[in-house]
Amino acid sequence: MGSEPYRRQKETKDRNRHIILAQLERGPKRFVDLRTSTHLSDTGLSEILKEMTKLSLIEKKIFQGHEAYSITQNGIERFGESWYLLFEIFEMKEQGATYNQNGDITGWGIKTDLIKKITWDDGIVPPPVPFSHSLEKAVFREIKKKIAKYKIKNVSGKVILSFEIDYDKLMPFLRMGKSAQRRKLQSVEQSFAEAQRVVES
């Protein structure tokens, strides 16, 4: 099996595990409930549930008279720090969000996952989202600059960088006058600069 198909298969399986854990964090769920939320086949869901049970991430229990699955303390501790991100993704998915992934086409090891649920004005054709590769370039330049600045020779591992664009908050800012926008941006830049000084001190 080639590395790319294997990687995609692993990412899909990890994503399904996260969906299951996000569901179970809300309370025990029956097999049929998990099948509905994940859209997996019976065989696919059974395989993942067996793996997660073997890893002590979930367990079987009787809930309201039915056999159900529940998250374990180990599952909470292992994935607890990512709950906010997982819930955001899960909620958007339930609202009909679409998912797109830009693979590592540059070979830099940087890729972009895009989840979007946007409502546009009537009659307007939604434009493509061109900033994914622009963000990858910006991240690449910033990493390159930091590595050169601190004379770093070797780095290993992965970082998942997440941010969301909330148009309900962004649009009012974009409707401000230029002077108001400038004052707001200056305030934000000062906050970023102060945070950076704290990190580097």
- CATH 1.10.275.10, domain 3-80, yes or no: no
pLDDT of residue 81: 59
pLDDT of residue 42: 94
Other beta carbons within 10 angstroms of residue 58's beta carbon come to: 26
Whether the Cβ atoms of residue 6 and residue 57 lie closer than 8 Å to each other: no
- Over the chain (201 residues), the average pLDDT of each successive run of 10 is 63 78 88 88 93 93 93 82 66 76 72 76 59 81 91 86 81 90 89 76 64
**Beta strand 66-71 with 112-116: parallel, antiparallel or unpaired?**
unpaired
What global pTM score does this model have?
A: 0.53
DSSP letter (8 states) at residue 81:
G
pLDDT of residue 1: 44
Residue type, 136: E
Q: Which residues does 113 contact at the CB level (< 8 Å), separation at least 6?
A: 99, 100, 101, 102
Other beta carbons within 10 angstroms of residue 7's beta carbon come to: 12
SS3 101: strand
**What are the residue ranges spanned by the domains of the chain?**
3-80, 100-200
pLDDT of residue 162: 76
pLDDT of residue 118: 74
